[in-house]
Structure 1
Amino acid sequence: MGALISNRNKRDASSQHSPGGFDHNLHINKKLKSSSSHSNISRLGIYPKTWVLREIHAPCRFISGFTAKLSRLYDIKLGLFGDLGNALFSKCKNLREPAIRRCKNVKSDSGCSSIEVIDVDDDDEEDDSGVSSVEVIEIVENEREEQSNNVSVERREIVAKYMELDQKEGVIDLDDESVEKRDTSLRRLRFDIKLLEAKLALRQQARPVKKKEDVENDPFRPLTKEEEDMVAKALSYSNRNKVLVNHENSNITITGQLLQCLSPHAWLNDEVINLYLELLKERENREPKKFLKCHFFNTFFYKKLVSGKNGYDYNSVRRWTTQKKLGYGLFECDKIFVPIHKEIHWCLAVINKKEEKFQYLDSLGGADKKVLRMLAKYITDEVKDKSGKSIDVTSWDQEFVTDLPNQENGYDCGMFMIKYADFYSRDIGLCFNQEHMPYFRLRTAKEILKLRAN
């Protein structure tokens, strides 16, 4: 975030009139004496100092972990060989003529299980970026066992075919050893791709989406004209100092100023997030058959949990989840939601008892192993403290969810976080994206004004 640095000396007050922090019309009559260098330096303090403005940096999107690896392997699958292609290109000029001569002298009785031919652009032809392209033309695989004479005939036909290529085209070294190594690498990459595809399919099956009509009618129900007018009035400048709603159970009061965080391009604040999570819990209590049994910690829980001298401090939050205070045991819940605030970015952690896993959802694709370790330790201490029993969560998965809607700007992370909790508590897939955020802002404002989540 941006920072503003100023000199608090009263003599510098006049420097605030100019946009740059310095008043160019200011006239200073005092002159520096030349008695000593020390006195001259000390007198420099009478001159106004300019404001120093630092550029505001929004969070940047990045790809890591499972998504990056999958993307890399798919690039190879599609023929964009990455580093391998760059290496081939760098040796293209040196290998062109020897490769063509080798094609002319291929012996007919030597066996070959596969031939790989690469088309290299002309030396003089380059794209706008100055990088020539390397394109995989064909990989011919002979998986059937044939007689040696048939293999020789097939090889001669293939070599004759590629000998007709223009001199601009290059042929990779066709000796049996290099071909065998290349085949081994390609088979390994194909296996990795199939393995990652299978893992992705299993993860998607683990989150079955409810019927299509349920998803369309409930989470995406449009606002009525009256509701739109109510939200517009609450977000107007005239209501900034008014108390709009007061939630007695959580003792949270929302003023017009606080509700402004649901305006376009604004960052969500703690009060709005915490009240919305309270409304999600009340929604579950009204319709327990329709929603999972969940617990929603507020935005201060995780900060308190890791605020001890040595980091982790269970005793600081031990009283937050008593049976008397909640009306239920924490470990009776299917899912426990924990908002995570990282200075200027919101994420969501989930203790998923239903599927026995700890989950981390970041709309920018980040991953924080420390958060999941702290929550694993917390739930172990919580069960031990409240029931006297021990629970082993070492076998639970730690999942950094990647197949989720991604944030495409620097201000919607809070909205993504609360909608992750909303959809997970419905036990449906995260079937929304960045385009739904303006609607979700209006809908959240409407639900807060009515103190009822739908």
Structure 2
Amino acid sequence: MDPLLPLTPHAVSVTAPLKPYHGRTEAAPADQEPLVVIDNIPLRLWDLRRVPPTVMMHDEAMNAYISLLVRREATWAAVDQRPLRFHFFNTFFFTTLTSGRDEAYNYESAARWSRDIDFKKYETVLIPINVANIHWLLAVVHPQRRVVDTYDSLGSASDWMLQCIVQWGQDDARTYGHPRGRWRKHKVRCRKQDNGKDCGVFVLKRMDHISRGIAPERMTGSMNYYRRRIAAELLAMTLL
């Protein structure tokens, strides 16, 4: 499937009126009704105004889109009569994994996220990471090969973050009785952002492309195109 499939006229029309959110001083209206609800995540007009250009995406829109990726993988697996290949964590997993005492790695703090899930059964586990509330990057774990790839549109992923993901993989393998072995870390060369706001878009479309088997170098569309596509998909509650 073409990752640059043109937006439909309807998608263009419904996303054109969205005006960007301008800073923390503009609070979310408490009485604003949701436009859509995706897996118990209500998206209001205020939330979708965090999707247009010049604005950094926030958790609600990110997690709603990740829910659409989960749905698509489940649908494809059912149609092809195959096991699930991809597991998508939401934006809170890594924060929880590292939010214990002194903000250090704590496997137990995130245990509920992985309870009853044997990640060794998946080809790929995708973990969006929020860095100090100012940047998003993506960790991609290949449990069967013991490999952790990171995609960072600023190139700022710290070794500490990578080591936390590796440690989680090792602890999870021990929990489920899998053979231990050496894990490898790899910072993947990928397209870089040219501003301070597009990181969330890079993460969501990278998750989309990886789960569709699309190579990193094929991410060639404009950020405005990707943002409008994400907004249209959220409003339609399905991936186009």
TM-score bracket for this pair, using the shorter chain length: 0.7 to 0.9
Q: Matched residues in 2 for 1:448 and 1:415: separation?
A: 13
Map 1:333-352 to 2 at 5 A: 333-343=122-132, 344-352=134-142
Map 1:284-433 to 2 at 5 A: 284-288=73-77, 289=80, 293-309=85-101, 311-323=104-116, 329-343=118-132, 344-353=134-143, 355-385=145-175, 387=176, 389-394=177-182, 396-402=183-189, 404-430=190-216, 431-433=218-220
Percent of aligned pairs with the same amino acid: 32
Map 1:69-80 to 2 at 5 A: none
SS in 2 for 1:230: helix
Which stretch of structure 1 is more off in the superposition, 254-263 or 363-372? 363-372
Letter paired with 1:313: N
Map 1:12-161 to 2 at 5 A: none
Letter paired with 1:400: K
Map 1:157-176 to 2 at 5 A: none
Unaligned runs of 5+ residues in structure 2 are 21-28
Equivalent residues of 2:63, 2:90 under 8 A apart? yes
Q: CA deviation at 1:355?
A: 4.5
TM (normalized to structure 2)?
0.85
Q: Matched residues in 2 for 1:227 and 1:367: separation?
A: 34
Letter paired with 1:432: M
Equivalent residues of 1:292, 1:427 under 8 A apart? no
Equivalent residues of 2:48, 2:231 under 8 A apart? yes
Residue 229 (structure 2) aligns with: 443
Q: Matched residues in 2 for 1:410 and 1:276: separation?
A: 21
Letter paired with 2:172: E
Residue 243 (structure 1) aligns with: 34
Which structure: greater helix fraction? Answer: 1
Letter paired with 2:202: F
Residue 54 (structure 1) aligns with: none
Letter paired with 1:419: K
Q: CA deviation at 1:281?
A: 1.0
Q: Matched residues in 2 for 1:291 and 1:231: separation?
A: 35
SS in 2 for 1:337: strand
Q: Which has the higher contact order (CA 8 A, sep 6+)?
A: 2
**Alignment deviations for residues 259-304 of structure 1 (CA, whole Å, 9 cap, x no partner):** 0011111110000011111111111111124997111111111111
Equivalent residues of 1:262, 1:441 under 8 A apart? yes
Give the alignment partner of residue 14 of structure 2, picking from 222, 230, 236. Answer: 230
Residue 26 (structure 2) aligns with: none
Q: How many residues in Structure 1 have an aligned counterpart in Structure 2?
A: 224
**Alignment deviations for residues 118-164 of structure 1 (CA, whole Å, 9 cap, x no partner):** xxxxxxxxxxxxxxxxxxxxxxxxxxxxxxxxxxxxxxxxxxxxxxx
Q: Matched residues in 1 for 2:184 and 2:137: separation?
A: 19
**Alignment deviations for residues 275-334 of structure 1 (CA, whole Å, 9 cap, x no partner):** 1111111111111249971111111111111122251111111111233xxxx5322111
Unaligned runs of 5+ residues in structure 1 are 1-213
Letter paired with 1:314: Y
Q: Matched residues in 2 for 1:242 and 1:232: separation?
A: 20
Q: Matched residues in 2 for 1:356 and 1:277: separation?
A: 24
Q: CA deviation at 1:257?
A: 0.2
Q: Matched residues in 1 for 2:14 and 2:181: separation?
A: 47
Greater radius of gyration (CA): 1
Letter paired with 1:405: R
RMSD of aligned residue pairs (Cα, Å): 2.2
Residue 274 (structure 1) aligns with: 63
Equivalent residues of 2:137, 2:153 under 8 A apart? yes
Q: Matched residues in 2 for 1:398 and 1:422: separation?
A: 22
SS in 2 for 1:382: helix
Residue 161 (structure 1) aligns with: none
Equivalent residues of 1:359, 1:400 under 8 A apart? yes
**CA distance 1:393–1:407, change in 2 (3 Å):** farther
